């Protein structure tokens, strides 16, 4: 049995510049962090005592004989790609809802790909895992995805990620003063809007809009070094971080009309009116999770005002995708 644990991520600045349509022409960069909310994947060789070859538990339960019958697209695609023939039982658990802007699909991809390698006693580095996850989602499953989520969830931590024109990437940990780190962690509030959405559909609309929104994405990318300057300033009160989030959100909303809606706009206005200095919807938009930057003296007001939403306390994570249990000494055999 293999159990992997892969964190979800929060992207602060530069989202959208990781789509190939933009990064291959202009290069991209983002600032993101992983948090202590995780996707768990449990994979074991399925004992031959059962009638079916595969048992998969996610939002549904699948008992099937053939990979071609599997309904979970990533599991099906990965088993085909890695030519897995042995029977498997696969169990997924997540701390937070899927399709909500926290990179959950990439967390699943990284965790599952890592588990499949571990089943064969193959070590895969964080860089290789990120590349394999990008390849799985973009090229094999043909999803409308960028590159930041796969990299963030594989590596873990608070990072400045750059995307090169040749599709390579670089990951640099953001080393900020401890005071600023603690202030940022304390002042970011995370809420679930209660609405999930299919990210690939929304992302597809954003990708189509990129050619007409190059200047907007250039401005969003330019906010990354500005944010790094705020984070690394020894004299920063960090309030400028919230203001920059607000500017970034206004730009993001302008890419396509599907990113926000009246429901999200009302939530955002309520958060700002109650004391937040900035915020943004995470991921492709349309629903999911929203963050606000709120100084400690205003946090009770914001939480009270948004009482109809689920407030999710969290801490930053630095571990990335990990195997937390490894025991593959079963090797069932049957005689024919």
Predicted confidence at residue 272, as pLDDT, reads 97
**Mean of pLDDT values over 163-175:** 96
Q: Side by side, which strands form the sheet with 278-281?
A: 278-281, 289-293, 188-192, 310-311
pLDDT in tens, 248-307: 999 999 988 888 899 999 999 999 999 999 999 998 777 899 999 999 999 999 999 999
- Cα atoms in the 13 Å half-sphere on the side-chain side of 37: 16
Give percent of the chain with pLDDT exceeding 70. 95
Exposed/middle/buried for residue 66 (C-beta within 10 Å: 0-12, 13-18, 19+)? exposed
pLDDT at 309 over 50: yes
Domain ranges of the chain: 2-174+318-326, 178-315
- The helix/strand/coil state of 144 is coil
pLDDT in tens, 311-335: 999 999 998 999 999 987 666 565 4
- C-alpha 15/C-alpha 206 separation (Å) is 11
The answer to whether the 2-174+318-326 and 178-315 domains have the same CATH topology is: no
pLDDT at 211 over 90: no
Q: What are phi and psi of 89, to 5 degrees?
A: -110, 125
User: What angle, 0 to 180 degrees and rounded to 10, lies between the N-to-C axes of helices 73-81 and 104-119?
Assistant: 30
pLDDT at 117 over 70: yes
Q: Which CATH architecture has domain 2-174+318-326?
A: 2-Layer Sandwich (3.30)
Q: What average pLDDT does the chain have?
A: 92
pLDDT at 238 over 80: yes
Predicted confidence at residue 277, as pLDDT, reads 96
pLDDT in tens, 30-75: 999 999 999 999 999 998 888 899 999 999 999 999 999 999 999 9
Predicted confidence at residue 197, as pLDDT, reads 61
3-state secondary structure the chain: CEEEEEEEEEEEECCCCCCHHHHHHHCEEEEEEEEEEEEEEEEEECCCCCCCCEEEECCCEEEECCHHHCCCHHHHHHHHHCCCCCCEEEEEEECCCCCCCCCHHHHHHHHHHHHHHHHCCCCCCHHHHHHHHHHHHHHHCCCCCCCHHHHHHHHCCEEEEEECCCCCEEEEECCCCHHHHHHHHHHEEEEECCCCCCHHHHHHHHHHHHHHCHHHHHHHHHHHHHHHHHHHCCCCCCHHHHHHHHHHHHHHHCCCCCCCCHHHHHHHHHHHHCCCCEEEECCCCCCCEEEEECCHHHHHHHHHHCCCCEECCCCEECCCCEEEEECCCCCCCCCC
Q: pLDDT grade, residue 336 (50/70/90)?
A: very low
Predicted confidence at residue 144, as pLDDT, reads 86
Q: Which CATH architecture has domain 178-315?
A: 2-Layer Sandwich (3.30)
**Mean of pLDDT values over 87-107:** 93
**Mean of pLDDT values over 206-221:** 88
Q: Report DSSP state, residue 47.
A: P
pTM: 0.93
Predicted confidence at residue 51, as pLDDT, reads 86
pLDDT at 118 over 70: yes
Predicted confidence at residue 201, as pLDDT, reads 61
What are 4's strand-pairing partners?
A: 41, 323
């Amino acid at each position: 049995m293999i159990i992997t644990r892969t964190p979800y991520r929060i992207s602060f600045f530069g989202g959208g510049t990781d789509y190939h349509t933009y990064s291959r022409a202009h290069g991209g960069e983002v600032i993101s962090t992983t948090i202590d909310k995780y996707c768990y994947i449990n994979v074991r060789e399925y004992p031959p005592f059962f009638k079916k070859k595969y048992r998969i538990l996610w939002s549904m339960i699948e008992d099937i004989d053939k990979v071609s019958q599997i309904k979970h697209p990533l599991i099906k695609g990965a088993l085909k790609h890695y030519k897995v023939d042995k029977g498997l039982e696969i169990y997924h658990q997540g701390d937070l809802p899927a399709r909500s802007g926290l990179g959950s699909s990439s967390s699943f991809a990284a965790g599952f790909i890592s588990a499949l390698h571990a089943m064969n006693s193959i070590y895969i580095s964080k860089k290789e895992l990120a590349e394999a996850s990008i390849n799985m989602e973009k090229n094999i499953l043909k999803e409308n995805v960028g590159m930041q989520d796969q990299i963030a969830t594989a590596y873990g931590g608070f990072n400045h990620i750059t995307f090169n024109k040749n599709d390579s990437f670089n990951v640099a940990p953001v080393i900020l003063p401890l005071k600023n780190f603690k202030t940022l962690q304390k002042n970011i509030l995370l809420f679930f809007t209660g609405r999930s959405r299919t990210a690939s559909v929304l992302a597809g609309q954003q990708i189509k809009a990129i050619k007409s929104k190059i200047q907007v994405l250039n401005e969003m990318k330019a906010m990354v070094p500005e944010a790094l300057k705020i984070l690394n300033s020894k004299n920063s009160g960090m309030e400028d971080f919230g203001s920059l989030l607000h500017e970034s959100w206004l730009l993001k909303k302008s890419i396509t009309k599907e990113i926000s809606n009246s429901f999200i706009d009302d939530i955002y206005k309520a958060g700002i009116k109650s004391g937040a200095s900035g915020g943004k919807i995470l991921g492709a938009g349309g629903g999911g999770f929203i963050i606000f930057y709120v100084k400690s003296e205003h946090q009770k007001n914001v939480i009270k005002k948004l009482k109809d939403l689920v407030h999710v306390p969290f801490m930053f994570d630095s571990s990335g995708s990990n195997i937390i249990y490894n025991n593959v000494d079963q090797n069932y055999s049957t005689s024919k």
